[in-house]
Amino acid sequence: MRCTQCGQVGLEQGFVSDSGSGARGYARWFGSLLERGVIGIARTRGLPQWQIDAFRCPNCAHLELFAAQRLNLRR
Ligand SMILES: [Zn+2]
């Protein structure tokens, strides 16, 4: 994979962590506009969600984000 910022080849694969209360340890991408509930928390129930894979460029530190893997919906 090539860095879209500087052209370096050989990006390091990783992920974006979410360590907030009740989080699963990784950040997710939701296929929807953001809607907030009564206390300002994003509504995510029932939305299509995808794992975020993050590739870091060792040359310029740019992150390339991909959401290729669909996650199962849990109710
Ligand atoms: Zn780069």
Query: Ligand 1 centre and the CA of 6: distance in Å?
Result: 4
Does the pLDDT of residue 72 top 80, yes or no?
A: no
Distance in angstroms (rounded) separating the CA atoms of residues 13 and 65: 10
Query: Ligand 1 centre and the CA of 54: distance in Å?
Result: 13
At 2-60, the pLDDT tens digits run 999 999 999 999 999 999 888 889 999 999 999 999 999 899 888 999 999 999 999 99
At 17-32, the pLDDT tens digits run 999 888 889 999 999 9
Q: What is the reported pLDDT for 17?
A: 94
Q: What is the reported pLDDT for 22?
A: 80
Query: Ligand 1 centre and the CA of 13: distance in Å?
Result: 13
Query: Ligand 1 centre and the CA of 1: distance in Å?
Result: 11
The two three-digit tokens of residue 18, written as one number: 């979410």
Q: What is the pTM of this model?
A: 0.79
8-state DSSP, 51 = E
